[in-house]
Amino acid sequence: MVFDNTKFASERTEEIAKPHIHVSTACRNDAFGVKKSALSASASARVSEMAQPNHPADPVERPPPRKKNAFGAPIFPQPKFGKRLPKVKPYKMGECKDKDNKDKGQANELENTMKKYESVPLYPSIDPCIDPAGAKKQAKARRVAEKAKKARREKRGQKRQEKSDQVKQENDEKK
């Protein structure tokens, strides 16, 4: 490179600095060109033997192609029963309650309210649209549980009050 009649690099450096285009010998100009001698050649017995697989797989039989309808979509076979279902025993409906049974049911409800409430109020809220009876039962159980909770709270408060009164009386007696 010459600038104002002064050289910055030697000729060899400039020669080395030029880009070198590498010519690949791996690829041929005609990729599909085959030599005439290769077309008439045959593989040796050893090469043919090595080309065979060590563990040949069993041949897989493919089912015949399905028949197609007018639109070219495959036709699938109908299920065994089609639209007719197998015979089953008839469903037994629940029996209606008589008036006598209603009276017994009310007595049983009274007994159930006397018992401790179940864990129904602790369950996640039941949707009345999905299970109206369950939602009603849960609401009732929650009311009972709330009343029981208030009663326990009041008892605890009374016990604390009694205890504090007792402590005050003892302190008064000591003075």
Rounded to two decimals, the pTM is 0.30
- The residue extents of the domains of the chain are 119-174
Q: What is the DSSP letter of 43?
A: -
pLDDT tens digits for range 62-76: 889 999 999 999 998
From CA 74, how far away is CA 100, in angstroms rounded?
Answer: 64
pLDDT tens digits for range 94-137: 777 776 665 555 555 555 554 555 566 667 778 878 888 888 88
DSSP string, 66-119: PPB-TTSPBPPPPPSSTTPPPP-PPPPPPPPP-HHHHHHHHHHHHHHHHSPP-S
